[in-house]
Chain A
Amino acid sequence: MYSEKVMDHFTNPRNVGEMPDADGVGTEGNPVCGDVMKIFIKVRDDRITDVKFQTFGCGAAIAVSSMVTEMAKGMTLDEAMKITKSSLADALDGLPPQKMHCSNLGADALHKAIEDYRKKQGK
Chain B
Amino acid sequence: MKTIYMDHVATNPLHPEVLDAMMPYFREIFGNPQSIYEPGIRAKEAVENARAGTAALINAKPKEIIFTSSGAEANNFAVKGIAYASRNKGTHVIVSKIEHHSVLNPARFLEKSGFAVTYIPVDKYGTVDPDDVKKAITKETILISIIHASPEIGTIQPVEEIGRIAGEKGIVFHVDAVASAGNIPVDVRSMNIDLLTFAAHQFYGPKGAGALYVKEGTRIVPLIYGGIQEGGRRAGTENVPAIVGMGRAAEIAKRDMQKRIEHVRPLRDRLIDSVLKIERVTLTGHPEKRLPGHASFVVEYIEGEAMLLLLAGKGIYSASGSACSSKALKASPVLISIGIPAHLAQGSVVFTLGEGTTGEDIDYFNETFPQVISRLREISPYAKGWEGAEDPTCTVKK
Task: Report A's interface with B, CB cutoff 8 A.
Answer: 2, 7, 10-11, 13, 16, 27-36, 38, 54-62, 98, 100-101, 104-105
**Chain B residues, CB < 8 A from A57:** 303, 306, 324
- Distance of B210 from chain A, by nearest CB (Å): 27
A7, B310: Cα distance in complex, Å: 10
**Chain A residues, CB < 8 A from B313:** 11
Q: Could you say which interface size class chain B belongs to?
A: 35 or more
* Residue from A29, A55, A58, A59 whose CB has the most chain B CB atoms within 10 Å: A58
Partner among A10, A13, A34, A62 whose Cβ is within 8 Å of the Cβ of B396: A34
**Chain A residues, CB < 8 A from B382:** 31, 36, 56
A29, B398: Cα distance in complex, Å: 12
**Chain A residues, CB < 8 A from B346:** 31, 34, 56
A123, B341: Cα distance in complex, Å: 40
- Distance of B255 from chain A, by nearest CB (Å): 39
**Chain B residues, CB < 8 A from A32:** 341-343, 389, 391-394
What does DSSP make chain B's interface, helix, strand, loop or mixed?
loop
- Distance of B303 from chain A, by nearest CB (Å): 5
**Chain A residues, CB < 8 A from B303:** 35, 56-58, 61
4 more contacts with CB within 8 A, not counting A32-B391, A56-B303, are: A31-B389, A32-B394, A33-B394, A98-B327
**Complex contact B397–A101 (CB within 8 A):** yes
**Complex contact A55–B379 (CB within 8 A):** yes
- Distance of A116 from chain B, by nearest CB (Å): 15
**Complex contact A55–B381 (CB within 8 A):** yes
Partner among A7, A16, A33, A38 whose Cβ is within 8 Å of the Cβ of B395: A33
Cβ-based interface call for B325 (8 A): yes
**Chain B residues, CB < 8 A from A33:** 323, 329, 342, 394-396
User: Which A residue sits closest to B383, measured CB to CB?
Assistant: A54
**Chain B residues, CB < 8 A from A16:** 378-379
